[in-house]
Copies of this chain bind each other. A is one copy, B any other.
Amino acid sequence: MRIDDDARIAVIGTGTIGASWAALFLAAGHDVAASDPAEGAEARLRAQVAANWGDLAALGVAKGPVESALERLTFHADPAEAARGAQAVQENAPERIEVKRDLLARLETTLAPDALILSSTSGLKPTAMQQDMTHPGRLVVGHPFNPPHLIPLVEIVGGERTSDDAILAAVAFYERLGKQPIRLNREITGHVANRLQAALWREAVFLAREGVASVADIDRALTGAVGIRWALMGPHLTFHLGGGAGGMEGFVKNLGPAVESWWADLGDATLDDETARVLVEGVAEETGGRDVEELARQRNAALMRLLALDRRV
């Protein structure tokens, strides 16, 4: 099981995530066969690939003009037709288990038995998805972060019936695309990165709701310090260096009791109406009237600058 450099990739579901994947696959030289049931999906897909092309060229991934890349993109009303002849499918269907199962059944009617099915699911477990599959061994979660054509991380996890071979092929595929895959040893709700994100946000929401600091100031605690570090090193390596010459062992010994006392003091949160009001008003103050579209443009520009930087430690 492997995905060749010039393999055809099917992209099923071409919303924001799927279209971003399609742009990346085309940029890396793959033919892409796409499918999505939404009205006007093909036109939107082609427009988004074109819109993403500049960033992919700036990062050195896309070579040549987008026009010739778009000639390698076909669109199919039937997902099974998109899957025909593909060495891999990246599926980005809605996050409902029955939708995913129906889709997988349709794909397997035309897909070669040794072709891989990669799922962008953030919330479903692969064991549940592969339940009715003819060849369940080939189902691998390849969970990206938005936008997939720019953010390096892809979380790889298989279900109970996924083959090691499929996992290794998925890792190799994403690495060749310039991604940074991480491999989960077992499935868990939210995978790794969203769990870490959720854990931090729970405390952020607690602090905002308690009025300890403003929503904007809590955000600045990340952009002014903690987020800067984590763009370079994860929390374990950060604390390894925080332990001085003793490293992580010294850190746990010297600062472990303080950290455990902080853990015991952390808050809880629910997204009730009053909490939602605090968050919505706090963000309105933080953004100072800039709308989401303008913020997204500024975020993308900053993201491009950051991704072009050598962040290796």
Interface residues of A (CB under 8 A from B): 123, 145-146, 151-153, 155, 180, 182-186, 188-190, 192-204, 207-208, 210-213, 215-237, 239-245, 247-249, 252, 256, 258-263, 265-266, 268-271, 276, 279-280, 282-283, 286-287, 292-293, 295-296, 298-299, 302-303, 305-307, 309-313
For residue A240, which residues in chain B have a CB less than 8 angstroms away from its CB?
Answer: 283, 287, 292, 295
Structural contact, B228 and A262, CB atoms closer than 8 A: no
Name the one of B189, B210, B239, B311 contacting A302, with C-beta atoms under 8 angstroms: B311
Contact partner of A263 (CB less than 8 A), chosen from B184, B218, B220, B269, is: B269
- Select one of B182, B220, B223 contacting A213, CB under 8 A: B182
Looking at A202, A236, A258, A276, the one whose CB has the most chain B CB atoms below 10 A away is A236
**Chain A residues touching B, majority SS:** helix
B201 contacts A259, C-beta separation under 8 Å: yes
Cβ contact within 8 Å between A182 and B222: no
Are A306 and B298 in contact, with the CB atoms below 8 A?
no
A306 to B287, CA, bound (A): 23
Contact B223 A234 (CB under 8 A): yes
B312 and A298 form a contact (CB under 8 A)? yes
Instruction: Return chain B residues, CB-CB under 8 Å to A200.
Output: 196, 199-200, 235
